Structure 1
Amino acid sequence: MSAAQSLIEDWRKYLAQDRRRSVHTVRAYIATAERLVAFLQEHQGGSVTRNDLTSLKTADIRSFLAERRITDDIGNLSAARELSAIRGFLRFVGGEGANVPAIKGPRVKRGIPRPVSPDDVIALAHDVAETARDGWIGARDWAVLLLLYGAGLRIGEAMSLTGEILPLQETLRVTGKRNKTRIVPLLPQVREAIDAYLAVCPYPAECGEPLFKGARGGPLSASLIRRAVQGARGRLGLSERTTPHALRHSFATHLLGRGADLRSLQELLGHASLSSTQVYTHVDAAHLLDVYRNAHPRA
């Protein structure tokens, strides 16, 4: 293993174990580090050492990003993510007091999440449940979608629930990103939906085993739920932005519209930073403008 590959492997362990980054984040960051090393190898004509990485200049990183734009046609958002990963990698390689080249990232216009109306959420869940190939699978999908909307869970968080949460209580302990746990209220309608699914599921919900089962009794894949939602939104004529994650956005937006404060909402969503939650203030304002434009005769 080369010196650069050894550094990348050490960084992988650091991200996964010390920083508790998600599997997807680790995979993306490691891919960036590998691309950077490959770029440097090609331009230097030899192996890359720790000293090569710690002595990188701003121009070197700009050249790497420029090649990514030309070769892979990446946009500003991808370039910004790539730059963030490079900074993290170089700080890790350089250790305490690392001198990472100062480079301003591309301007990225932050998108505003688009909530789904309560009526559309219910229509979506009904359609998914009714078109399922088996009754118990329909009950399962109904329960999952109500859980995403009624408790604001990420789909990965819902898929990671196990039989240990049974019997259901008025609150639910959820493990989110970076293994951070939080307590969320469980509405009666959501509890009823989960109980109804468990009553007809042919596989027992045992402690340590996934709560939501696939057709053969294994863990339910999030991609199956995404695919079911995609089919339902096409049949119902809903926006392409109507995804399982959009139900979480809807949970947040509708709570904010009913007077929830940002700090409480931050805790319910499991956001590490309040700035991540503040985006929903813009969502609520955007929703009001949409209502105004659609309803006001002189809008």
Structure 2
Amino acid sequence: MSLVLNTLRCLVICLKSSLLFYPKERKDEIATVETINNGKSIFEARWDIDTSWQCLEYYAGLAGSMAGEHVQLPGGSFGYTRREPLGVCVGIGAWNYPFQIACWKSAPALACGNAMVFKPSPFTPVSVLQLAEIYTEAGVPPGLFNVVQGGAATGQFLCQHPDVAKVSFTGSVPTGSKIMEMSAKGIKPVTLELGGKSPLIIFSDCDMENAVKGALMANFLTQGEVCCNGTRVFVQKEILDEFIREVVKRTQKIKIGDPLLEDTRMGPLINRPHLERVLGFVKLAKEQGAKVLCGGDIHVPEDPKLKDGYYMRPCVLSTSSSCLFLNSLK
């Protein structure tokens, strides 16, 4: 009976949480905070909040349908399985989709009857607190969803804590490797969502309009700060000139500036060290033979209030040779 009641409670909590997203004013409020938190355009942040709502709605439906199995065995016997919560689950998020990742990790954990301790990136600590407020309004009991702020030391503590039953991480491959190593000492199951940048391959029979749009989205969404971006684009020789011409023309039209303005399509990068790192990549690519077709340098917006922002013009590089740097972006 307790398992049935727990399942029903999880169903109600997830459903009420998703409904609390529904009013447009609430979604706009969360998207605004996410833009301030991360730097992505308000246009993109609204997408993130919509998909976060869909995530909660999905797991609200799943919470009431997670049944075990009943298997008939020889001799009149039978076997059965019963799904039970793991206990305390840890979620460690990345800075490029802070609110969305918090929903992705917490919704399935809560739907299955677990408690979650979520640690956002120290670069984007704010928006997940709104999710905590939503869960509280939906009736999540105290201590069932917790937000812990901090850096690497906090993550290490959570991974090694004996009361933690599972760890879910989104971020870089080196950090994911360390998390797996730390969690292995306690034989904790680990879910890792790490970086992977497979190339786009454009053939001569493509729909050029869709191919160009796809290449732009795959490279410049969220200022290009996405772990699965298609940072390499291989184009069949017969259409290369036309493809490059269209990509460069549209890249140069991307509106850079205040991410809270409706017509902005690219905001600032997450912080100065990251800006310098990306500029360093462009410099290294040039040294190895790549040609800069547009962008790749610091952008200073016209608004004087934004002059200290970490803005960079979107960059298109071209090379027909084996550029070691570009080949390493995979």
What's the TM-score once normalised by structure 1's chain length?
0.32
TM-score normalised by the chain length of structure 2? 0.30
Comparing both structures, which one devotes a greater share of its residues to helix? 1
